């Protein structure tokens, strides 16, 4: 599903942001990625989306060899990866329904299937009653749930979350993590970058710890080895 072989990323000459990363994530896994600020977590996500190219090493996502993927095939790679950010990134001038439907229109989904899919996603995140609301009328937790619905509406096989609870209080953070867990149980591979150690400890998922561009630990059931 996701394979990195000896991947290094240097932005400028000097210390690499990622330094010889070997990583294998199977289909259907739930993985936390933790580590100090600057340890390379965002860089990893950008490489998986091919927003950046590795300086050396090999990356495969869903059997696509990213080093060689053509511009033309980039949309097909990105359609298969949903992304959720710390700051939600909803369209402020569109309501909840349209924020989610927009993601399907962009990939030219037939209009007859859009409505059903959008409503199914809203139901999954518990926001059916808010479909007409605008982002600024929603709490942070609700906005993040809309962002998750949007990320999943095209049925990607992988969901990447970059600090999805970074702007949320503990209660909303737990709500988001429960939804991510449920999404994973339905078959989506979920990778979550987070600083929320209480949640990482409690959820007992595979946890990868990064430091200075390297993976310093990779454990099966939660646990981490760094202090911010």
User: Taking the complex as a whole, how short is the minimal distance between the CB of residue 166 and ligand ADP, in angstroms?
Assistant: 8
Is beta strand 30-35 parallel, antiparallel or unpaired with respect to 189-193? parallel
Number of residues that bind ligand ADP (CB under 6 A): 12
Q: Is 191 in the site for ligand ADP (CB under 6 A)?
A: no
Q: Is 13 in the site for ligand ADP (CB under 6 A)?
A: no
- Tell me how many degrees the CA angle 21-46-173 measures, rounded to the nearest 5: 100
User: Taking the complex as a whole, how short is the minimal distance between the CB of residue 180 and ligand ADP, in angstroms?
Assistant: 18
User: Taking the complex as a whole, how short is the minimal distance between the CB of residue 56 and ligand ADP, in angstroms?
Assistant: 16
Q: Is 17 in the site for ligand ADP (CB under 6 A)?
A: yes
> Residue 84 or residue 100: which is nearer to ligand ADP going by CB?
84
Q: Is 62 in the site for ligand ADP (CB under 6 A)?
A: no
Instruction: Rule CB under 6 A: choose which of 11, 87, 91, 221 binds ligand ADP.
Output: 11
> Residue 31 or residue 114: which is nearer to ligand ADP going by CB?
31
> Residue 154 or residue 194: which is nearer to ligand ADP going by CB?
194
- Tell me how many degrees the CA angle 21-25-27 measures, rounded to the nearest 5: 160
> Residue 163 or residue 175: which is nearer to ligand ADP going by CB?
163
User: Taking the complex as a whole, how short is the minimal distance between the CB of residue 113 and ligand ADP, in angstroms?
Assistant: 34
Interactions with ligand ADP, residue window 144-183 (CB under 6 A): 162
* Separation of alpha carbons 147 and 118, rounded Å: 12
CB distance 25 to 32 below 8 Å = no
> Residue 16 or residue 156: which is nearer to ligand ADP going by CB?
16
> Residue 99 or residue 194: which is nearer to ligand ADP going by CB?
194
- Tell me how many degrees the CA angle 203-89-127 measures, rounded to the nearest 5: 65
Q: Is 196 in the site for ligand ADP (CB under 6 A)?
A: no
Interactions with ligand ADP, residue window 19-58 (CB under 6 A): 35, 37-43
Q: Which residues of this protein are in contact with ligand ADP, per CB under 6 A? A: 11-12, 17, 35, 37-43, 162
């Amino acid at each position: 599903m996701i394979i990195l072989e000896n991947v290094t990323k240097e932005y400028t000459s000097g210390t690499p942001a990622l330094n010889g990363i070997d990583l294998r994530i199977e289909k259907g896994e739930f993985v936390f990625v933790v580590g100090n600020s600057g340890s390379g977590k965002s860089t990893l996500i950008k490489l998986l989306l091919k927003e950046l190219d590795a300086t050396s090493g090999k990356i495969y996502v869903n059997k696509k060899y990213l080093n060689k993927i053509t511009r033309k095939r980039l949309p097909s790679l990105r359609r298969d990866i949903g992304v959720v950010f710390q700051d939600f990134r909803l369209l402020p001038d569109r309501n909840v329904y349209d924020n989610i439907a927009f993601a399907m229109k962009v990939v030219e989904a037939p209009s007859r299937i859009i409505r059903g899919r959008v409503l199914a996603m809203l139901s999954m995140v518990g926001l059916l009653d808010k479909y007409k609301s605008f982002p600024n009328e929603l709490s942070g937790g609700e906005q993040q749930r809309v962002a998750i619905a949007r990320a999943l509406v095209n049925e990607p096989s992988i969901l990447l979350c970059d600090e999805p609870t970074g702007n949320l209080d503990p209660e909303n953070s737990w709500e988001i993590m429960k939804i991510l867990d449920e999404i994973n149980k339905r078959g989506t591979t979920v990778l979550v970058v987070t600083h929320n150690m209480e949640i990482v400890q409690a959820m007992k998922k595979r946890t990868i710890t990064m430091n200075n561009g390297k993976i310093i630990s990779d454990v099966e059931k939660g646990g981490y080895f760094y202090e911010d």
